[in-house]
Amino acid sequence: MDNLNLISNFAEFKELKNIDKSTMIGVLEDVFRHALQKQYETDENFDVIINPEKGDLEIWRNRTVVEDGAVEDPNAQIAVSEVKAIDATYEVGDEYADEIKLSSFGRRAVLSLRQNLASRILDLEKASLYEKYSEKVGEIISGEVYQVWKKEVLILDDEDNELVLPKAEQIPNDFYRKGDTIKAIVKSVEMNNNQPRIVLSRTANEFLERLFEQEVPEIFDGLITIKKIVRIPGERAKVAVESYDERVDPVGACVGMKGSRIYTIVKELRNENIDVVNYTTNPQLMIQRSLNPAKISSITIDEERKTASVYLKPDQVSLAIGKGGLNIRLSKMLTGYDIDVYREVEEEDVALTEFSDEIEGWIIDALKAAGCDTAKSVLELSVEEIAARADLEMEQAQKVVEILKAEFE
């Protein structure tokens, strides 16, 4: 069993993931020096030479040449007659170096060395992988689906490192098969039983934020800032953005020409609807924008309680609430206010014919001929205009207005 055979069993070591060459050489040297200490009780007079290109190593022992019969430590000294039998040029006092073959260690020592080396390399890989992905937390990575289980999906990165996407971190509409390419954000890196566990997420708000950075150059360059993101993954999201350059429309830049930029993000998120809102510190305006597309009639805010009462026309209420209440839920999350929606009470109009017992018939006919067939349509006009349109005296027109107003008081 020679040196090359031992190293070739670990490859391999030239191609190990996540471990740089100098670190690997240091570990190999440390392992072999440990073996030398066990075998010879010291490693001080040994040179361990590792060739990273070929994947082999050499161990040389340095001993001082002494007179015959003067050898006190065979590991540090060698008799001159023994050396001259190999090379006659050596003299007493010279340094003699001879190569140590692993086979001289004995089978059990070599086996122990192998196990120690394998363990050290494995620990080094784990530590390197943990450090590598700890620096990537919050970043988007791409990988290939390797295994699909009930509670999680196993993913391999471009270096065949194993990553996991738990069910709770998947968008509800996500569906994967082996070989699919997947994008996700690195959510956390944990050590379980000395094994790095790299957890990915597609439901985290940061995932949506990174997608915007990829698709919108103005965000990546810092011209537009994402102030806040709220999501119900797979359903709907609201993103508040602000521009530091008044020439840049933050909402328009995020949506893109004909929705080209936002479409790419929506597609990645399994058709999750995304509302991009222009951020403002004005709470009334922010609530109004967050409830888009509903058109708000009025808002009453209680700053102390962080509540807002929003009044809308009846046909706008369902738009404000949204399908399944998603729109108002996300608006509450985005603005930080507890929003209550109220329908505006509209007074019903009354036909002029209903006033025939108080207003003469010919006056009602004259008003209808002038385009006013309801009480409110008459009250929208001034007394002068009513008199002119229906050919009435001012007193008659004023009397009509008083009668109609009384209906709504």
The secondary element (H helix, E strand) that includes residue 231 is strand 224-232
Question: What is the pLDDT at residue 216?
Answer: 95
pLDDT average, residue stretch 378-405? 89
pLDDT at 118 over 90: no
Mention every residue, 6+ apart, whose C-beta is less than 8 A from residue 156: 143, 144, 146, 162, 163
pLDDT in tens, 65-106: 899 888 888 888 889 888 888 888 888 889 998 888 877 777
State the average pLDDT over residues 396-401.
91
pLDDT in tens, 120-136: 778 888 888 899 999 99
With a cut of 50, say whether residue 10 has pLDDT above it. Answer: no
Summarised one tens digit per residue, pLDDT across range 252-271 is 999 999 999 999 999 999 99
Q: Which long-range contacts (CB under 8 A, 24 or more apart) does 252-258 make?
A: 253/216, 253/218, 253/219, 253/223, 253/224, 254/212, 254/216, 254/219, 254/224, 256/215, 256/216
Give the C-alpha distances (Å, rounded to integers) separating 165 from 129, 235, 279: 17, 19, 33
Element (H, E) at 343: strand 338-343
Using 50, 70 and 90 to split pLDDT, how confident is the model at 9?
Answer: very low
The pLDDT value given to residue 353: 87
The alpha helices in 158-303, defined as continuous H runs, are 205-215, 217-220, 250-255, 260-268, 283-290
Nearby residues of 18 by Cβ (< 8 Å), 6 or more positions away: 125, 128, 129, 132, 159, 161
pLDDT band at 326 (very low <50, low <70, confident <90, very high): very high
